[in-house]
Amino acid sequence: MRPFKRILENDAIRAGLCWLGALYIRLVHVTSRFSAVGGEIPRALWDERRAFILCFWHGRLLMIPYCWDKRRPIRTLTSDHRDGRLLARITAHLGIPTLIGSSSRGGASAFRAMIRALAQGESIAITPDGPRGPRMRAQAGIVKLARLSGAPIVPVGYSMKRRRVLDSWDRFLVALPFSRGVFVWGDAIEVDSNADRDSIERARHTVEASLNAVTAEADRLCGFPPVAPAPAESELSG
């Protein structure tokens, strides 16, 4: 792995890999047929010109740019480490700007930037289990963002008929070309501005359950069993 990491330190090589990554995503899109379940949910918010927080699991981010109406402004939150920077370059090639930050590096400034963007009518895309997991377990930050911004949270998941699921922490789904895919949307989740700690935890659980439900439904529609979330902390302690 060390030689590979040294290669990635070369900016020209990183730029080339990101260009190829975006090219591959475009290839999958143009050679595949996609459908949507629950597409009226984001359309209603788009028609109201209401910004919202788009959320999806880290393992399902590859084709997410193509669930979005490109006429609507959106930014994606990307972690401030090498993998996050690579993702930022790839999404930039696909026409989606990013905000850099994470819970450990640049988190406070990124949080303020997201609130400003939502106030200005830009939606925000977040993987609530990223960048390190646990897999398919939502962190509370997305709920706190919704509480402070007043923006609803809208979950989405996707799956593909032709795919590979990597043995990575997030069970990353690699979509393959010449396939069929489906995006499944969940109902918008509102968080009261006066939500206390218990209310935030309930909302966090709702986001997690909804995301797992739409992702499992997308897998089912493509003929696959759902990917299991990582064990919850209560399961580990028990």
pLDDT at 197: 95
Residue 238 belongs to some domain of the structure: no
Q: Assign 14 to helix, strand or coil.
A: helix
Identify whether 52 is part of a domain. Answer: yes
User: Within a domain: residue 129?
Assistant: yes
- pLDDT for 127 beyond 60: yes
- The CATH number assigned to the domain holding 10 equals 3.40.1130
Q: What is the largest CA-CA distance in the chain?
A: 51
Tokens coding 173: 């789904």
pLDDT tens-place string over residues 88-105: 888 888 989 888 766 444
For 144-199, how does the pLDDT look when each residue is reduced to its tens digit (9 = 90+)?
999 999 999 999 999 999 999 999 999 999 999 999 999 999 999 999 999 999 99
Rounded CA gap, 54 and 75, in Å? 10
Count of domains forming the chain: 1
Query: Which of the 8 DSSP states describes residue 103?
Result: S
Give the C-alpha separation, 45 to 18, whole Å: 31
pLDDT at residue 84 above 80? no
pLDDT in the model for residue 143: 97
- Closest C-alpha to 230, from 130, 109, 115, 83: 130
Q: What is the CA radius of gyration of the chain?
A: 17
Domain annotation covers residue 12: yes
The rounded mean pLDDT for the chain is 90
Angle formed at CA 120 by CA 116 and CA 124, multiple of 5 degrees: 65
Distance CA 218, CA 184 (A): 6
Q: Is the pLDDT at 67 greater than 90, yes or no?
A: yes
Window from 66-80, 116-130, 223-237 with minimum mean pLDDT: 223-237
